[in-house]
């Protein structure tokens, strides 16, 4: 069966926002404690998380439950995986990472982040304000695959598989839409996304459904229009040359 792109973002599905939400705060946002299941590979709290911070999948979500907080004053990004609020006691999460967006920061070797590949999540999301507002998406896009290799490609820093098959993709692998792919016949906002996939490509960041593109939910998305992305097939991409592959 031919694999096609799938927009893993949009408006709502079964009452929950589609995609990975985020919240923007200022330097005055109070910091709260975070209790980590995997404290060894997590950046310690406290984190400036509002009590009503949006959770991936909604408050009752059973998926990855990412929480992303961007401090617009300090240019710092705070991200949690499998986050659950604890009321006045703060939050609990499986893992967390703090990113200084003023630097070209990477995680320590073989460390995870709030994402399997050890990468930041927010910079790889497709956002409505970029695509429709600015009509420009100037970064690579986060995507997932169901089967990956026990290996990673920097700037990724972590693998999430026990499979050693050399034919499987490593975390951090970058795919790029072929330069000759015809963009005619697509809606304007879809063409913005496809142009970015030609220029910056997409980076494998997590295990999940095959070729699901990550984005932020927004009630202004047109879900019917975004479905045009499903016309793009895996064969329309090429693998960017991989150097510095890390294995056992």
Give 18-76 pLDDT, tens digit per residue: 999 999 999 999 999 999 998 899 999 999 999 999 999 999 999 999 999 999 999 99
Is the pLDDT assigned to residue 102 strictly greater than 60?
yes
Could you tell me where the beta strands, DSSP code E, fall in 65-201?
A: 67-71, 76-81, 84-85, 91-93, 95-100, 141-145, 174-177
Rounded Cα–Cα distance for residues 208 and 133 (Å): 29
Percent of the chain clearing pLDDT 70 (strictly above): 100
Mean pLDDT of all residues in 198-220: 98
Average pLDDT, the chain: 96
Per residue in 106-126, pLDDT tens?
999 999 999 999 999 999 999
| pLDDT confidence bin for 219, thresholds 50/70/90 | very high
Find, among 8, 49, 2, the residue nearest to 144 by Cα: 8
What share of the chain in percent tops pLDDT 90?
Answer: 97
- State the alpha helices, DSSP H only, in the chain: 128, 188-199, 223-226
Is omega for the bond preceding 94 within 30 degrees of 0, making it cis?
no
| Average pLDDT over every residue of 183-208 | 98
Residue 1 has pLDDT above 80, yes or no: no
Environment class of 195 (CB within 10 Å of its CB; exposed 0-12, middle 13-18, buried 19+): middle
List the one residue out of 83, 74, 11 whose CA is nearest residue 50: 83
């Amino acid at each position: 069966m031919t694999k096609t792109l799938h927009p893993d973002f949009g408006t709502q599905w079964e009452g929950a926002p589609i995609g990975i939400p985020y919240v923007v705060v200022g330097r005055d946002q109070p910091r709260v404690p975070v209790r980590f299941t995997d404290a060894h590979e997590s950046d310690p709290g406290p984190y400036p998380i509002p009590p009503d911070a949006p959770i991936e999948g909604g408050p009752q979500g059973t998926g990855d439950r990412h929480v992303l907080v961007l401090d617009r004053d300090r240019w710092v990004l705070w991200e949690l995986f499998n986050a659950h609020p604890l009321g006045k006691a703060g939050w609990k999460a499986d893992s967390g990472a703090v990113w200084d967006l003023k630097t070209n920061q990477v995680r320590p070797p073989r460390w995870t982040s709030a994402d399997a590949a050890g990468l930041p999540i927010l910079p790889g999301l497709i956002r409505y304000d970029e695509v429709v507002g600015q009509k420009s998406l100037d970064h690579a896009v986060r995507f997932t695959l169901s089967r990956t290799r026990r290996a990673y490609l920097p700037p990724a820093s972590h693998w999430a598989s026990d499979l050693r098959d050399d034919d499987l993709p490593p975390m951090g692998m970058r795919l790029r839409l072929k330069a000759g792919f015809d963009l005619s016949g697509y809606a304007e906002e879809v063409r913005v996304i496809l142009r970015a996939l030609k220029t910056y490509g997409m980076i494998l960041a997590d295990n999940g459904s095959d070729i699901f593109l990550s984005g932020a939910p927004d009630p202004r998305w047109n879900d019917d229009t975004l479905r045009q992305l499903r016309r793009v097939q895996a064969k329309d991409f090429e693998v960017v040359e991989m150097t510095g592959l890390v294995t056992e």
